[in-house]
Amino acid sequence: MNKPAQRTKADRRVPLQANLVPLLTQRGIETYYGVSTWQIDQWRKVGMPDEPFAGQGRRCNLAKCQAWHAGTRRTRGRWRPPRDPRRAPRTAR
């Protein structure tokens, strides 16, 4: 009886279909950005996108999160949306 050749995980990898996007778990997003669960929750409160998911937890599309971070600015420890260029600039107090 011959043993079937063992395949490694890399051998079993298949490409995603064109319309599918890999979603990261909360732990995956924390690891990617190197931050805590608390920080991810704070970012979500101010608008970081997450995707609907039928199972437990939350899932995030990394490309959308990266775009959100590129479009936000950090001011006094808070993440805020970019300023509308049509608004008048703030004056010094």
The pTM of this model reads 0.59
**Of 43, 87, 38, 91, which is closest to residue 64 (Cα–Cα)?**
43
Residues 1-57: tens digit of each pLDDT: 555 567 676 676 677 677 777 888 888 889 988 989 998 888 888 888 988 888 777
Q: Domain holding 59: CATH number?
A: 1.10.10
Name the residue range of residue 38's domain.
21-76
Which ranges of 1-93 would DSSP assign to H, the alpha helix? 9-12, 26-33, 37-45, 62-70
* Domain membership flag for residue 46: yes
Which tokens in the block code for residue 26?
């909360």
Residues 55-83: tens digit of each pLDDT: 777 889 988 998 888 887 665 555 555 55
- Tokens 């490309």, located at residue: 63
* Domain membership flag for residue 5: no
CA–CA gap between residue 43 and residue 49 (Å, rounded): 9
Question: Residue 17 has what pLDDT?
Answer: 74
